[in-house]
Chain A
């Protein structure tokens, strides 16, 4: 048969060259199999800050899936649900040099009990602190992912079972999953620009007026950049700052209420990365320009950080304000307003010295303090180390009225409390700039009422817009829509709205960001190798039976002949 075949093929090949070319192209074309399931995954943070590396160094994976209870975890992709996640399991996976870790988060965080959310929030900085080459991904759970997880769990947990025959049967019938990401290896993003925005309201009455600076950083931080929505920290701070800008620009537009203070509003970027925006802005304004509002007469700098919740309000200072200074005036006014107008609010001052030996600064006011500008930070959090400041669980805003029945897990913005805090700050600032206490105005007088009142709807829509997309510093470049919208909003109320860009130094970068933070992961159904062998054995036996059947076809033929022959003979 092969001789004739080769003859025929020779003849055919002479005139079928184009056909073979087409065939060759078809055979060489790359393999694109359909996956059982395709879903988005978000990578853990990866960044360098002041030379120190943090987070997961690796982005690609092409490994089989297992759950944490499996015995062999090396070179496998370990899938964990948030409810089962614990630091020991994570360490176990890393110790056994797992191929990757995928943490499955529920679609709706409010279904998670409080203690799990709390535990995860405390774990986030620990996860980041250990630099690892294992890629760590977060995925949002849906039905198919859940079914993949359950199947993997069943096959993983039964791997410790006893006899060889059981193992054989199990590996032959089980359904494994191969997880593959489509992107490339992560590399440093070169020339990333962090944008900050400033705007001002000039005071009435000539030169040399004192300046009050209001600062809030607009970026957010969490263990995965694409999942950090930062509702309370620092979406609330940004919302308060924008609302103050609106209120005071209104006051300043009437001649009678135009006060003798310059108001400078600053939205800083890179706040969660040791306040890079603020640092460079200060350097540029104090060292590199001749005249700037910051060089002359600065009354004080008020930083707003996490104001969206709770009945506490803390004024963090690095040095207690001296009597008679404008800082002391603000402290006093805040106490007055809180005591007289909002007795449910507990206001206090927290004194913490600047510790330059720490890796990162505690609050934003410390940047100003280093440059000898009087500054403080207002926050409802008592400590800068609170996990609520850098958690991915910080993602919703709830009004006390509608959320009254359920206890929302995790940090979130409570709009009534946010608007109350805004009012307190606005009243205190107004009392300082109009010098109301010295003029004998009582603590009960409310300025911001009726037409000038703090608009809760405005705050609500601001917080909703800010939490609609992730605001990690690595995702907001100078053309991003958030920066543009903030600039537009500021320019409606303030004058001289300017952008300020920060780029890392080439030779000794203060911060380095990495890409490949969001990937598409494919889960392919695979069978273990032994399954192919079993199948080959079965097919070989089937073919053997078939061969015997065809060889003995004559028997069937003869049988049928004998069956039909008597009938014919009778004809």
Chain B
């Protein structure tokens, strides 16, 4: 089997009466002389190969599924790229610092996994009953994320915004690579289509906003000049950030939400948290 490329022509000839046709060129109407499955446009070559009894060809299907992988990957990754560019981090040579933040993410995840494996063995209780207390305890371990973010930000000198953005970008990119790239590569390239890959990519966008908000809240929490009246809202926001995953699972379990609805709820929740944290941040920065 020859690998396929988006813009190359492949001609396969078999020994029987069947042979392959390549359709390319200018746009065609959907009706008329073209059979309805020959949808072409000038930017995309569709290869139609009649079945040769001696050869299975995956060319057509694998082109499409690679395209789908490309879709999902760009949906997941481009916002990060846009944020990096537009937040002016590139002017500060922040790439290496982002990588360091990513390394810290890996380290923190490793410690969390070890901790969970040691102190929270698999619950042998009734299957199907959602173990609220157990999951709550597990979510508490996510406090380590906050510590990690604080560690990253304390090592970076600079303005508050710079520290927050660097820490959040590095953290979120590391999470993207670790927890989303492999499933996308293995799953979205397959023949089987599932909406969950698009949802995963959207989820990574939401995570980016979430980590920016979380880094901002952590930064505010550790400021020495935080006014007394801000302590409470900041602490509440901090708690919400940590337990957001737990709350989402709770909602899904109790209200039996569909996957798209859950995504919407998650987006709304993250949006609310980030707006509140932005509001507090602006107030804090510009009150001095």
A and B co-occur in one complex: yes
Q: Chain A residues in contact with chain B, CB under 8 A? A: 1, 4-5, 8, 26-27, 31-36, 57-58, 60-63, 71-72, 74-75, 97, 99, 133, 159, 164, 167-168, 171, 175, 178, 180, 185, 524-530, 532-533, 535-536, 539, 542-543, 546-547, 550-551, 553, 556-557, 560-561, 564-565, 567-568, 571
Beyond the given pairs A75-B51, A550-B87, 8 more chain A to chain B contacts, judged by CB atoms under 8 angstroms and listed by A's residue number, are: A27-B185, A175-B193, A526-B192, A529-B44, A533-B41, A539-B75, A542-B75, A557-B278
* Of the residues A32, A62, A168, A533, contact of B58 by C-beta under 8 Å: A62
A4-B93, A8-B99 in contact; A550/B86 too (CB < 8 A)?
A: yes
- Is B30 in contact with A529, judged by CB distance below 8 angstroms? no
Q: A13 CB to closest chain B CB, in angstroms?
A: 13
Tell me which residues across on chain B come within 8 A of A564, comparing CB atoms.
279, 282-283, 286-287
Number of A-B residue pairs at CB separation under 8 A:
136
Which residues of chain B are near A175, meaning CB under 8 Å? 193
Are B29 and A33 closer than 8 Å at their CB atoms? no
B192 contacts A551, C-beta separation under 8 Å: no
Interface string of B7-30 (1 = CB under 8 A from A): 000000000101000000000011
In the bound complex, how far is the Cα of B36 from the Cα of A527, in angstroms?
15
Contact A550 B82 (CB under 8 A): yes
Question: Which one of A526, A530, A565 contacts B286 once the chains associate, using CB atoms below 8 Å?
Answer: A565
Q: Is the CB of A133 within 8 A of B53?
A: yes
Q: Are A31 and B90 in touch, CB under 8 angstroms?
A: no
B41 / chain A contacts, CB cutoff of 8 Å = 533
A-contacting residues of B (Cβ < 8 Å)? 16, 18, 29-31, 35-37, 39, 41, 44, 46, 50-51, 53-54, 56-58, 61, 64, 67-68, 70-71, 74-75, 78-79, 82-87, 90, 93, 95-96, 99, 182, 185-187, 189-194, 198, 205, 278-279, 282-283, 286-287
CB atoms of B283 and A539 under 8 A apart = no
Q: Contact: B191 with A526, CB < 8 Å?
A: yes
Bound-state CA distance A34–B189 (Å) is: 12
- Contact residues in B for A557 (Cβ distance below 8 Å): 278, 282
- By Cβ-Cβ distance, the 3 closest A-B pairs, closest first, are A33-B190, A164-B30, A524-B191
Check if A524 sits within 8 Å of B192, measured CB to CB. Answer: yes
When distances are taken between beta carbons in the complex, the residues of chain B under 8 Å from A4 are 93, 95-96
Q: Which of A72, A536, A543 contacts B35 (CB 8 A)?
A: A72
Q: Which residues of B contact A71 (CB under 8 A)?
A: 36
17 contacts between A and B (CB under 8 A): A33-B191, A34-B192, A62-B51, A167-B36, A168-B30, A180-B191, A524-B191, A526-B61, A526-B193, A527-B68, A543-B74, A543-B79, A543-B82, A550-B83, A550-B87, A560-B279, A561-B282
The one of B30, B54, B75, B185 in contact with A185, judged by C-beta atoms closer than 8 angstroms, is B54
Q: Which residues of B contact A560 (CB under 8 A)?
A: 278-279, 282
Chain A min CB distance to B270 (Å):
15
A539 touches B74 (CB 8 A): yes
Choose from A58, A530, A551, A565 the contact partner of B39 (Cβ within 8 Å).
A530
CA distance A547 to B205 in the complex (A): 13
How far, in whole Å, are A167 and B192 apart by their CA atoms in the complex?
Answer: 22
Whether B79 pairs with A72 at a CB distance below 8 angstroms is: no
For B198, list chain A residues within 8 Å (CB): 535
**Nearest Cβ distance between residue B28 and chain A, in whole angstroms?**
11
Partner of B190, one of A31, A60, A168: A31
Determine whether the beta carbon of A26 is less than 8 Å from that of B283: no
Among candidates B39, B53, B79, residue contacting A529 with C-beta atoms closer than 8 Å = B39
Cβ 8 A contact of B187, one of A33, A58, A543, A546: A33
With A526-B191, A536-B71 in contact, is A1–B90 under 8 Å at CB?
yes
Find out whether the CB atom of A527 lies under 8 angstroms from the CB atom of B286: no
Q: CB distance B67 to A532 under 8 Å?
A: yes
Q: How far is the CB of B273 from chain A (nearest CB, A)?
A: 15
Query: Beyond A529-B39, A560-B278, is A185–B95 a contact (Cβ under 8 Å)?
Result: no
Pick from B70, B95, B192: contact of A33, CB under 8 Å: B192
Cβ-defined contact, A525 with B51, below 8 A: no
A175, closest chain B residue (CB): B193
**In the docked arrangement, what's the CA distance between A89 and B58, Å?**
28
A185 to B54, CA, bound (A): 7
B18, B29, B71, B96: the one contacting A532 at CB < 8 Å is B71
Residue of B nearest to A5 (CB): B95
Chain A residues with Cβ below 8 Å from B29 are 164
- Beta-carbon nearest neighbor of A34 in chain B: B192
Q: A27-B185, A167-B30, A543-B79 are in contact. Are A178 and B191 (CB under 8 A)?
A: yes
The interface residues of chain B lying within 8 Å CB-to-CB of A524 are 190-193
Check B39 against A26 for contact (C-beta < 8 Å): no
Complex alpha-carbon distance, A521 and B194, angstroms: 19
* Bound-state Cα–Cα, A525 to B194, Å: 8
Given B16, B44, B96, which contacts A533 in the complex, CB threshold below 8 Å?
Answer: B44
Q: What residues on A are CB-neighbors of B182 within 8 Å? A: 26
- A159 — nearest CB in chain B belongs to which residue? B36
CA distance A75 to B198 in the complex (A): 30
Q: In the assembly, what is the distance between CA of A542 and CA of B56, in Å?
A: 37
Q: Once the chains are docked, how many angstroms separate the CA of A99 from the CA of B49?
A: 12
Q: Give the distance in Å from the alpha carbon of A75 to the alpha carbon of B84 in the complex.
A: 48
Once the chains bind, are A525 and B84 in contact (CB under 8 Å)?
Answer: no
Closest to A540 in B: B74
- Residues of chain B within 8 A (CB-CB) of A167 are 30-31, 36
Q: Which residues of A contact B78 (CB under 8 A)?
A: 543, 546
Asked if B56 contacts A568 (CB within 8 A), the reply is no
| Contact of B189 with A31 in the complex, beta carbons under 8 Å | yes
In the bound complex, do residue B71 and residue A63 qualify as a contact, i.e. CB atoms below 8 Å apart? no
Cα A141 to Cα B94 in complex, Å, equals: 60
Given the complex, which residues of B lie within 8 Å of A75, measured CB to CB?
50-51
Given the complex of chains A and B, what is the CA–CA distance between A256 and B41 in angstroms? 94
- In Å, the complex CA distance between A565 and B41 comes to 54
- Check A1/B95 contact, CB under 8 A, given A168-B30, A526-B193, A532-B64: yes
Question: Which residues of chain B are within 8 angstroms of A63 by Cβ–Cβ distance?
Answer: 51
Give A187 Cβ to nearest chain B Cβ, in Å: 12
Identify which of A34, A561, A564 gathers the most chain B CB atoms within 10 Å of its CB: A564
Q: Which residues of A contact B58 (CB under 8 A)?
A: 62
Chain B contacts for A561, CB-based, 8 A: 282, 286
B93 touches A532 (CB 8 A): no
In Å, the complex CA distance between A96 and B36 comes to 15
Residue of A nearest to B63 (CB): A529
Q: Which of chain B's residues has its CB closest to A551's CB?
A: B86
Q: Complex: how many Å from CA A168 to CA B105?
A: 45
